[in-house]
Amino acid sequence: MRIITGSAKGINLHTLEGDATRPTSARAKEALFSMLQFDVEGRRVLDLFGGSGQLGLEALSRGAASCTFVDAAPAAVAVIRQNIEKTGFADRARVQNADYRNFLRKCKEDGFDLVFLDPPYASDALADALLRLCESGLLHRGCILACESETGGVLEKDARLAEAYTLLKGSHYGRVHIELLTPAAAFFAAKV
């Protein structure tokens, strides 16, 4: 696993030992950032299921203003911190050892422009996190949520999500589905 491009291009990243996490493949990561190519620079990023931190670190390498990394596993948080040091992004990175539900409930940050959601495939955390993000007040207008899953079609599976978000782009790479979502216009109209 390495940073693909930007200021930290080519730096190899540490990963967690064992099968506890499933890093995004190089092919899927390249495809994801190709889809996001003009929507990273200057953005405030949230990497909600951090793992090794590779998605948030790739965003920082490509010019994101800041990134908050969240993971519930202390071992993952330790690896994220090592990778932040290795890439030199400590001044723009913040790490939280927290379950995503607790983080979203307690977060006092100003909000985010880009959110990476790559939870364990076997869980229902993707849909749950999207619903909680709707209610959190943390999504800026024009925010992009990059979702990775094994099945895709997250909006088709829940009417509440279909109301709250609009699909911008979707594609699949082997068994990986990537969907870019944005909050629906009605999402912000209801908050005015």
Nearest Cα neighbor of 63 from 82, 32, 89 is 89
Which residues have C-beta within 8 Å of that of residue 159, sequence separation ≥ 6? none
For residue 189, is pLDDT > 70?
no
When pLDDT is cut at 50, 70 and 90, the band that residue 18 belongs to is: low
For residue 191, is pLDDT > 60?
no
Stretch 87-113: mean pLDDT:
95
pLDDT at 39: 93
In this structure, what are the phi and psi dihedrals at residue 175, rounded to the nearest 5 degrees? -90, 5
pLDDT at 65: 98
CA angle 111, 60, 105 (to 5 degrees): 30
Furthest CA-CA distance within the chain: 47
CB of 172 closer than 8 Å to CB of 178: yes
Orientation of helix 26-35 relative to helix 54-61, angle to 10°: 50
pLDDT at 152: 76
Whole-structure pTM value: 0.92
The burial of 103, by beta-carbon neighbours within 10 Å (0-12 exposed, 13-18 middle, 19 or more buried), is given as: buried
Residue 122: both structure tokens together: 């076997």
